[in-house]
Amino acid sequence: MAFFTRLNWQTDQDYLDCVQDLLDQEQVQSLADFVHHNYSNRLEHSLTVSYRAFCLARKFGLDKRATARAGLLHDLFFYQVWQKDQYGPKGHLYEHPRIALANAKKLTHLSDLEEDIILKHMWGATRDVPKYAESWLVTLMDKEAAMLEVSTGFYQASKGLSIRYGNALASLAVSFFISGPKFK
C-alpha cells in the first residue's frame, strides 16, 4: 500500500534498533496473515502505527523505544475479526487489547508504559483512558492509520471498478461502431 511504503521505516536504523528483535519473531511476522481494516494486513497496520507514533515520540522527546515496541505489539492477536468464537463476551473492540497484552507478555518484558499503550489503544471505543503521552500518540496514530487504510483501500477498489466498467463500456462502444445497432 502506497501510504505504508512511504514511511521508510526499513532504512531508519534508530527505529530498527528499537524493534528488530520483535520483528525477528515468528509471531509478529505471522500478523501478515490476518486481514486488518478490510484492505490491509495486521503487520502493515502495526508497523504503520508503531513507526508514525515513534517519529512523533522522537520529535517530542518522549520514550520512543517504548512507543515503537508497544505500537508494534498493540494488535498482537491471532484471529480474523469475524471469528467471534475467538474472543470473550465483551466483544472484539474491548477484548483484543487484553488478548494482545497477554500475547505480548509472552514475547518480551513490558514496562508499565508499554502495558498502558497496548491496553488503552482502543480509547474512544472503550473507556480505557490512556495514562501516558506515549499511549495517546499510539491511540491517535491507530485511528489515523485505520482511516487511511480504509479510505486508500476503498479508493483502490473503486478505481478498479471504474476501470472494469470503463473497459466494458469501451468494448460495447467499439462493437456497436463495428457491427452497427442491432435494434430498429
- Give the interface with Fe ion as residue ranges (CB under 5 A): 75, 142
Nearer to Fe ion, 100 or 113 (CB): 100
Nearer to Fe ion, 37 or 177 (CB): 37
User: How far separated are the first and last CA of the chain, in Å rounded?
Assistant: 49
With cell 491496553, the residue in question is: 119
Nearer to Fe ion, 44 or 176 (CB): 44
Nearer to Fe ion, 114 or 142 (CB): 142
Decide: helix, strand or coil at residue 126: strand
> How far is it, in rounded angstroms, from Cα 42 to Cα 76?
8
Quick one: 7 exposed, middle or buried, by C-beta within 10 A (0-12, 13-18, 19+)? middle
8 A C-beta contact, residue 116 and residue 98: no
